[in-house]
Amino acid sequence: MIKLLMLGDSLVEWGDWAKHLPGVAVINRGVAGEMTEELSDRLMDEIDACPDPDAVLIQSGTNNLLFGYMFFPAIITSMLQRLRLCYPHSPLIVNSLMPMPIVAAHDLEQVNRELAQAAATVDGGVFLDAVGPFAEQCLPITQPGFLNDHVHLSTRGYQVWAGEIDRNLRRLFPDAAQS
């Protein structure tokens, strides 16, 4: 079973990962309301608490973007460098920000481009782009990806995101037994 350390905000914290990723041992280290710089501040404590994950996924920046703070991809780049030193062989997965309806599309595109560039700065860096799958699999009326606040994920949103995480993990760990 793959051991996945998930770092991030409420989208990570509130996920029912045992349900959505049953073949993955998720270490859920999401903190609701957290900005990327706060995750950076606690990063070494998280590394100490989880010394040997098979992979690390970072999903952070939602709250920064909601407050108009667009500089957070640089903080993620810095975190990736520290993670690479501590986890020299684990894939480091940088998750795109979700296509929140209340965020300007050009702002989302810009930060997601920068997050993809951040993932490319480290060996074993992977960018997981959830925007396309959300556009394809979440329908605003019949299968919405977001709750009424247009930020937090619905059950459908978590299903789509977990599907993308699972696909990426299968690609990274083709011999691992997953459900």
**CATH number of the domain residue 95 falls in:** 3.40.50.1110
Residue 163 resides in a domain: yes
Residues spanned by the domain of 167: 2-172
Q: How many domains does the chain have?
A: 1
Residue 132 resides in a domain: yes
Would you give per-residue pLDDT tens digits along the chain (179 residues)? 999 999 999 999 999 999 999 999 999 999 999 999 999 999 999 999 998 999 999 999 999 999 999 999 999 999 999 999 999 999 999 999 999 888 899 999 999 999 999 999 999 999 999 999 988 888 776 788 888 888 888 999 999 999 999 999 999 999 885 44
Residue 126 resides in a domain: yes
In the prediction, which pLDDT does 162 show? 97
In the prediction, which pLDDT does 177 show? 58
Residue 56 resides in a domain: yes
Residue 165 resides in a domain: yes
For the whole model, what pTM was predicted?
0.93
Separation of alpha carbons 169 and 132, rounded Å = 18
- The structure tokens 């098979």 sit at 54
The secondary element (H helix, E strand) that includes residue 5 is strand 2-8
Residue 178 resides in a domain: no
Residue type, 174: P
Residue 179 resides in a domain: no
| β-strand partners of 29 | 7
Residue 125 resides in a domain: yes
Q: What is the DSSP string of 17-81?
A: HHHH-TTEEEEEEE-TT--HHHHHHHHHHHHHH-S--SEEEEE--HHHHHTT-TTHHHHHHHHHH
